[in-house]
Structure 1
Amino acid sequence: MLPAQRNGKKWQKALQVPIPLHSSYLRAMTKVYLKKKIAPRIANGHPWVFGNEVDRIAGEVNAGDIVEVTYADGKFAGRGYINPKSQILVRLLTRNKQEFIDEQFIHNRILRAWQYRQKLGYTENCRLVFGEADELPALVIDKFNDYFVLQTLSLGMERWKDAIVRSLETIFSPKGIYERNDVPVRELEGLAQQKGFLSAPFDTNIIINENGLKFHVDIENGQKTGYFLDQQDNRRAIQHIVKGAEVLGAFTYTGTFEIHAAHYGAKSVLGLDISEQAVAQANRNAQLNGLDQVCRFEAMNAFDVLKQWGKDGRQYDVVMLDPPAFTKSREHIQKAVAGYKEINLRGMKMIRNGGFLVTSSCTNLVQPDLFLQTIDMAAKDARKKIRQVTFQAQAADHPIIWGMENTNYLKFLIVEVSDR
């Protein structure tokens, strides 16, 4: 029987009874002792403990088990799950010595994440759980109205998947839950890639509402969890600069920025993406909103097109660039920076005097300062002057925790571009 098919009322009643923190459990818990000289990262709140920061381990080490982490001076550091196959040996779940890691704990964390989103006004579509930022490392849950998509990206979090599903059932009574664990990072944890239903099967092609527009979302086969919720606030930021404008969008995926531009009064919008499947869905999205006469999409390699059209002298009032992450490895940061510089340089050259560049980077290894420096270098090489209109991060349902670089990953910039 699937977790979602179990008796919801019985489970809800069980959740109301806290499980006591037994002394026998604590005595049996494996203890991980940190070295004397470690980065202050852990003490300052970061949940990751790397293998080279550990002095010794007392007790059995079973991958996925909860362990207690102790500083070299004997002080309690926290509890989390361990995986010797991973470079991140332990991911801390709590720093409260009185807190027991059980299903009630998981339920409470998810409920707290939901209450936070409600306070901010993210109730229909949102990232319900954003991993470390919600003190549930390696767990991602996206809420698409009454449907939920989750990713358990580590062995320790995979162990709690049933409990996560039961908590979603209890809190939301959802229409469906789907896992998108078809991501390579799981293999680093010794886990297989997989995807499928965690509830009774449902139609995974759904329609969501965003900023007064409708969009098709393919939960099963779309990128990541099917839709990029992190740009939902940024898409509103273009509403004034696109009025009456000729707009070019590159790396459009399913066309959300471009359709927003058409909705906000653009004269014409052309979106480009290398994926024919994404372009087909983008055109369906334009039709869904009655904007297909203004907004169209073509399957083309944006890198090549920007270069060639720039040489051809094609000009637009607004150019929008939303490329995928250029690297996930620190070794290739400079290549990523070179890539961002090149596409933004090409984009700027195609903008009419006084027009606007809308550009993003989701590469978390390229931090905000470096991204802005890259855009500045591109402007200089393109012989353009730029004036910042706005610089933002991801939507607030993806909260940023200071000191955790991976939570501050999205850079969204609008600049006015003019001739020197």
Structure 2
Amino acid sequence: MAQLILEPGKERSLFRRHPWIFAGSVKQLSGRARPGDTVEVASADGRVLARAAWSPESQIRARVWSFDPAESIDDAFFKRRVAAAVARRAALPELAGQSGLRLIHAESDGLPGVIADRYGDTVVVQLTSAGADKWRDAIAGALVKATGCGRIFERSDSEVRALEGLAPRTGWLLGEASDSPLLIEEHGVRMTVDIESGHKTGFYLDQRDNRRLLGELARDKRVLNCFCYTGGFSLQALAGGARQVVSVDSSQPALDTAAANLALNPQLDAGRAEWRCANVFDELRRLRPRREDESGPAQAGEQYDVIVLDPPKFAPSARHAEQASRAYKDINLQGFKLLAPGGFLMTYSCSGGIGLELFQKIVAGAARDAGRSARIVRRLQGAADHPVDLAFPEGEYLKGLLVQVD
């Protein structure tokens, strides 16, 4: 086994049990290792500290599998780690009976670069690191043993694979596609999941609890859902008794799926739903009140009681933060202008390059520029099947605020 030797002082992050070793922390690699191979990690004074997966193409040169330098990284290791991740979720009452569930949340479950989501009898696995890619078969076998699922689909098509020197890869690892749509049920609402070409692994499981919260807020309210994708928030608002739900997305195929999802739920009043294919930035401006001196005659504009802003990732890394901040500021500013007195803004960022403190400052600036007094009612985060390891705060990518205006 090759040995990765750290620069002096760079072992401190490992003592804090942070699993990433950056290029600047590496003094040398003693021996030969191919991408994904397990290497021994040692401090500059020769102390062996961990075992990690080597990734020479990435700025994250190694990801720690185990902080026990004597632990073997083999098929049995992955069976133990996967079984432990599944057992942790089974111990949480709030996750009982969920037909859509995240089983493995990468570093936060001790499996860097491994995402696994379960939809009914199907597991979708996403491998984003060289180490995870090397152990593909072992991970798939461990998932079968831990879940009993007979179908596993790989969605290793994330852009971050390129940073690891890996080509995208998708396809069935076990089983084959069914003639019937893949369905899940969430808080009494049925939805389809497109595991082959949908976003992420097919669905945004991380927003499960926040969708339920919207349903609780929506009774007799006018709701505007921006970046609605396949309608998860929209359907929960209808289930909660919303008077009207206007849903906006730039993808007509996504809106078609959303409308089809609504049709799967005859208990919901389809007459209260409107689907608009538009650029959200443009649509928010079109809806807002307009003064006579701006462009043509004055318009009263629309007002909504609840607005959801759940955009795609604007800042995949910290170097995109400035540009992303402007985009977040823009949509939140327009959202505040459209809120009725006493209304709620549910606003989110899933960008790793935007921390919670910065996001809150952006939203506060948007409220100020909109001339609205507002307060945070609740801070929002991912569901319980998306845990965050205390030593790995980067795992908390989803952050949100529930804000109420005067």
> Paired residue for 1:369, among 334, 351, 357?
357
Shift of 1:38: 2.2
CA contact (8 A) 1:286 1:296 kept: no
Q: Which of 88, 92, 107 is equivalent to 1:132?
A: 107
- Equivalent of 1:60 in 32, 40, 61: 32
Superposed, 1:192-341 pairs within 5 Å as 192-203=167-178, 205-290=181-266, 291=268, 292-310=270-288, 311=290, 312=299, 313-341=301-329
2:226 is aligned with what amino acid? Answer: A
Asked if the contact 1:326–1:336 (Cα under 8 Å) also holds between the matched residues in 2, the reply is yes
Please point out which of 362, 367, 372 is paired with 1:384.
372
The answer to whether the 8 Å contact 2:85/2:103 transfers is yes
Q: CA-to-partner distance for each residue in 1:190-242, whole Å, 9 max, x for gaps?
A: 21112111112122831101111111111111011000000001111123321
Contact 2:152 2:173 in 1 (8 A): yes
State the match for 1:16 in structure 2.
none
Corresponding residue for 2:148?
Answer: 173
Give a deviation string over 1:237-285, Cα, whole Å, max 9, x none: 1233211011111100011111101100100111000001100011111
Q: After the TM superposition, which of the residue ranges 403-412 and 216-225 deviates more from structure 2?
A: 403-412
Cα deviation code 1:300-329 (max 9, x no counterpart) = 111100011113411111111111111213
| 1:112-191 aligned within 5 A | 112-121=84-93, 122-123=95-96, 124=98, 125-191=100-166
For 1:66 and 1:403, how far apart are their aligned partners in 2?
22
1:105 alignment partner in structure 2: 77
1:356-388 deviations in Å (ceiling 9; x for gaps) = 111111112211111111111111000001122
**What SS does the aligned partner of 2:182 have?**
strand
Kindly provide the CA deviation profile for residues 64-87 of structure 1, in whole angstroms up to 9, marking residues without a partner as x. 211100112222210011121222
Q: Work out the CA distance in 2 between the residues paired with 1:387 and 1:52.
A: 42
For the residue of structure 1 that corresponds to 2:193, the secondary structure is strand
Partner residue in 2 for 1:21: none
Kept after mapping to 2: 8 A contact 1:35/1:55:
yes
**Structure 1 unpaired stretches of 5+:** 1-28
| One-letter code aligned to 1:302 | V
C-alpha deviation, 1:403, in angstroms:
4.2
| Aligned-pair CA distance for 1:405 | 3.4
Secondary structure of 2:233's match? Answer: helix
Instruction: Give, in whole Å, the separation in 2 of the partners of 1:344 and 1:264.
Output: 24
What is the CA-CA distance between 1:404 and the residue it aligns to? 2.2
Provide the C-alpha distance between the structure 2 equivalents of 1:248 and 1:392, rounded to a whole number of angstroms.
Answer: 18
Q: 1:88-99 residue pairs with structure 2 within 5 A?
A: 88-99=60-71
- In structure 2, C-alpha distance between the alignment counterparts of 1:40 and 1:384, rounded to whole Å: 45
Matched to 1:303, the amino acid is F
Cα distance in 2 between the residues matched to 1:353 and 1:172: 48
Distance 1:222 1:357, change over 3 A: same
Q: Does residue 1:360 correspond to 2:354, yes or no?
A: no
Compare 130-139 and 73-82 and name the one that shifted more.
73-82
Structure 1 residue identity aligned to 2:246: L
TM-score normalised by L of structure 2: 0.93
* 8 Å CA contact retained: 1:364, 1:405: no
Partners in 1 of 2:346 and 2:163 — Cα distance?
A: 35
> What is the SS of the residue equivalent to 1:136?
coil
Would the aligned equivalents of 1:283 and 1:296 in 2 still touch at CA under 8 Å?
Answer: no
Whole-angstrom distance in 1 between the partners of 2:356 and 2:102: 22
Shift of 1:393: 1.2
| Alignment CA distance shift 1:348-1:202 (3 Å) | same
For 1:349 and 1:403, locate their aligned partners in 2 and report how far apart those are by CA, in whole Å: 39
Aligned residue number for residue 296 of structure 2: none
User: 1:156 & 1:41 partners in 2: Cα distance?
Assistant: 20
- 1:32 maps to a residue whose letter is L
Matched letter for residue 108 of structure 1: R
Distance (whole Å) between structure 1 residues aligned to residue 360 and residue 23 of structure 2: 34
63 and 134 in structure 1: CA distance in 2 versus 1, 3 angstrom threshold: same
Q: 2: CA distance between counterparts of 1:376 and 1:151?
A: 35
CA distance in 2, matches of 1:167, 1:86: 27
Do the aligned residues in 2 keep the contact of 1:149 with 1:178 (CA within 8 Å)? yes
Partner of 1:31: 3
| Range with bigger deviation, 101-110 or 294-303 | 294-303
The secondary structure found in structure 2 opposite 1:42 is helix
